[in-house]
Amino acid sequence: MSEFENKVVIVTGGAKGIGRGISLAFAREAAQVVCADIDEEEGEKICGEAQGLAGSILFRAGDVSKNSECEAVVETTVSEFGGVDVLCNNVGIQPLDAYLPAHEYPEEVWDRIMDVNLKSYFLMAKCCIPQMLKRGGGAIINTASVQGLQSMKGVSAYAASKGGILSLTRQLALEYATDNIRVLAVNPGAIQTPMMVDSVAFMSDDPDALKKMAENVPAKRLGTPEDIAEVVLFLASPRASYMTGEYVCVDGGYMAFGQWGEV
């Protein structure tokens, strides 16, 4: 029996990239997964991919930067599956036109990044925690980034949002430690997702840019969504029952190397 059999998991930004890897990993482990994303086409695809797995994936279209849509996602989850055991706050954006010096950053772009990357994490936690309390506990796993620890030029909003996720993770962990709700974060490094591939292509016309990026990772490869998903599964499982308020870097050694922002 899988430790996630009959467990109910919500994954935001769950249809593509890291979120897709997380959604499918939980479904393989017999969980009932609700994938929340704005991309309905990719949502239909991932539901199809989940056919035949031990668990299931239900797609729910929604912009979780808005409280009403977070409430709707949780209401759908409770209606379909009876509650919430695990929340994976994963959604994140870095628009291609938002690689700018801070003094040139449009306020509306800053607000949109913060709303999606940070505010949604608070809103989804706010909606899910009452359901977890009813079930006697749960786990919240937040996708932050190595950008929350070190940074680079041109990403002031993204970096601030990821640092905020780490701080929110610590605060919520303390808030609900006695309620058996654990709150943890994972910090991906260079993970080969559509967002990263698009960003590299936008910033460099070198056809070997991804290959060179991989060569600069101590592990000599880019990460995959599955690399992140495996760590998320562990953090959400009873095997990590004495962990809360912490983060785990999954970065092929980038943070140990200490110079990833220059490469």
Catalytic residue annotation = 158
Q: Residue 136, Cβ neighbours under 10 Å: how many?
A: 9
Other CB atoms within 10 A of residue 20 CB: 27
As to burial, measured by CB atoms within 10 angstroms (0-12 exposed, 13-18 middle, 19+ buried), residue 1 is exposed
Residue 258: strand, helix, or coil: coil
DSSP element (H, E) containing 10 = strand 8-12
From 143, 145, 13, 4, select the one nearest 70 (Cα to Cα).
13
For residue 222, give the nearest of 185, 254, 181, 255 by alpha carbon. 254
Report how far residue 77's alpha carbon sits from residue 60's, in angstroms, rounded to the nearest whole number.
9
Per DSSP bridges, beta strands 181-188 and 138-143 are parallel
Q: Which residues contact 13 (CB under 8 A, 6 or more apart)?
A: 19, 36, 37, 64, 90, 91, 92, 143
Element (H, E) at 28: helix 17-28
Residues present in the chain in total: 263
